[in-house]
A and B are shown apart, each in its own frame.
Chain A
Amino acid sequence: MRRFTQSALAGLIISSVATPLLAANTVTFSESEKATITSHGPWPPKMTPDPSNRVSGNKSAIAFGRELFRSRFLSASRRHSCVTCHKPNRAYTDGLARSTGVSMVDRNTISLANLRLNRWYGWDGGSDNLWAQSIRPILDPREMNATPALIAKRLRNDAPFSRGYQAIFKSSPSVDDAGQIIVNLGKALAAYQETIVTPRTAFDEFRDALAKSDEQETSQYPVAARRGLKIFIGKGKCGLCHLGPNFTNGEFDDAGIPYFKASGGIDKGRFGGIQKLKKSPHTLLGRFNDNPRRASGIATRHVTRSHQSWGQFRVPSLRNVINTAPYMHDGSLPTLTDVVRHYSNLNEERLHLDGRGLLRRLDLTDPEIVDLVAFLETL
């Protein structure tokens, strides 16, 4: 966590140095624009415990989850851990286009920050809660390749982990079945991951100052970033999908990135994610949800596949985006500049603009691209 914060600060410093310090402060915002900008905060938002996870927010569970996260205990070969792909010193990503556990997967590693704010998890939203999403890579043959039975057997024979489990879940791994054990371990992992929150940024300082009409403070925000922000909420209409304090609508869209898999076949994206969700025993509608009312499962009950779901992927948060390269679901765009250029030159005929998405080719100038990237670097 500490190193994570350091990385973010380093990014901010680089951004500030790169900004022409003597540039005139000529960027102003209308009242309407100010309202839009302030809607991207405050940060951090209040994070409440996950009602579907009875150990969410529990300090012992958080510590236990942290140990599990860093341990190779959860991989069949004992050669991989969550950290293999989610490296704390790389903003909980691995810097690779596509990650490799037991073998290479088809998608880019998503940063684990601010996950408590998600409704869906994974590039395809194949999970509706963090504990289920935490189980998925453990059981994926390409990632950690374990089985519930293997993990249960291993836990029963590991005295320290077994004691930790028993203390938190008030039940012995020798009594719980393998299905319950893997879910409980997922809940401990989730409790830990919920604590990973990106720090306040230069944008947050600017946003709060703007809300207070503190001109002295707002003037500290780099001019290029301000110009980029103006594009973000204006010409770029980026805020239509990247909205709110976490800069995402939490849903899915077709960003015009091809979705053939290098390993063969099609990555169905959200279409496949909903298929997985509907078959999973680990959703908010199932018996492992610790909230007896299961009210948080409403979206899961009603979500359906549509033609649009085919090839849609998560609209990612832009928080800390400078530190999570490469980008897009398949890691095909190495830099933020590449991402902005992609949207600037968007091939609209790859999308279906009638009857669906909000994306339009932006046709940004080179200076506008530089400014938009400068803004993104302050998030």
Chain B
Amino acid sequence: MQNVVTSFIFGLAVIGYATTSNAADRPLIDAHIHYSHDAWEGLPPAKAVALLRKAGLKRAFVSSSSDKGTQLLYKAAPDLIVPVLRPYRRRGELGSWMHDDSIIKHLETRLSTNKYAGIGEFHAYGNDVNTNVLRRVIALAKQYGIFLHSHSDAAVIDGIFKQNPDARVLWAHSGFTDPAEIRAMLKKYKNLWSDLAFRDEHATDGKVDAAWRKLFQDFPDRFMIGTDTFAPERWFYVVEHANWSRGWLKDLPKSLADNIAWRNAITLADWALKNKTVNN
């Protein structure tokens, strides 16, 4: 019954949401979308895809708790969805998954069954990177030639590259750290990308902050945008976020803006999905 009510309210939300992006605007790839059970229960795949298209997205990196949401969405729009495998089978595993060895089997099974561009977004801090589960995650990413989407501090990023110097890592939220530390990490690891999800200090009123501008200019191939739909209501922020992103991207040289808007993301996705079939 609760699901029925949720679906009804979600349906009303879709009808009521009037803001649109201008499809003629700069194309974007959103590298940080979640479609977890409380989202798909209320916002069916067709409507979710319609929202992503309304935002003018070329692609969307999607992960979910459980993975069912990602698969539903990928099936609905394989041209749009870049599937990423989240280790979490349900909400509530965010802080404990790295200590749960049963996650390994879960990941191995999903990876052998479906096509993925990456594993993540997962949350890990400090010495979490040395747990059995994280070690196996890093090995699986290497085995399948896919990236890791890591919501973590710099210590975990260091740990990942220590275990696999050739890993490709998308640093969620750019580690929620300052431009100086991001710069140091990007300089240290050529295969580290940074998403800007849930961050807005790099731009105010359409103007890019000087320190961030320098960072973008010095690492033009590393940044990408993302909304982070961590709660179902935030699906209705995807369009707003896309328009906001277009606003500040206009403050950058076109080539650099296009890199951050979509080119860097598609480079990473194409590398990960190259030669992959639905059943690996």
Residues of A within 8 A of B (CB): 258-266, 271, 304, 306-308, 310-311, 347-352, 354-356
Contacts and interface: CB of A to CB of B under 8 A. Distances in A.
A311 B234 contact: yes
Given A311-B233, A349-B94, A354 B176 contact: yes
B21 to A, nearest CB: 16
Given A347-B91, A354-B173, A304 B205 contact: yes
Given A307-B241, A354-B151, A354-B173, A264 B233 contact: no
Interface string B229-250: 0111110110011000000000
Given A304-B205, A354-B176, A355-B176, A310 B16 contact: no
Q: How large is the interface on B (under 10, 10 to 19, 20 to 34, 35 or more residues)?
A: 20 to 34
A337 to B, nearest CB: 22
A307 B237 contact: yes
A311 B13 contact: no
B88 to A, nearest CB: 9
B228 A352 contact: yes
B9 interface: yes
A291 B205 CA distance: 27
Given A260-B233, A265-B12, A266-B13, 5 more contacts: A264-B13, A266-B16, A310-B240, A347-B91, A351-B230
A311 B199 CA distance: 16
Contacts of A347: 91
Contacts of B237: 307, 310
Contact of B16 (A261, A308, A349): A261
A311 B231 contact: yes
B204 A266 contact: no
A276 B163 CA distance: 51
A109 B200 CA distance: 32
B234 A265 contact: no
Nearest to B65: A349
Contacts of A271: 240
Contacts of B253: none
19 contacts: A258-B231, A260-B9, A260-B12, A260-B232, A261-B9, A261-B12, A261-B13, A265-B236, A307-B228, A308-B198, A310-B234, A347-B91, A348-B94, A349-B94, A349-B230, A350-B230, A354-B173, A355-B173, A355-B198
Interface string B201-240: 0001100000000000000000000001011111011001
A359 to B, nearest CB: 13
A263 B198 contact: no
Contacts of A260: 9-10, 12-13, 232-233
A352 B198 contact: yes
A352 B233 contact: no
A265 B94 CA distance: 29
A304 B207 CA distance: 13
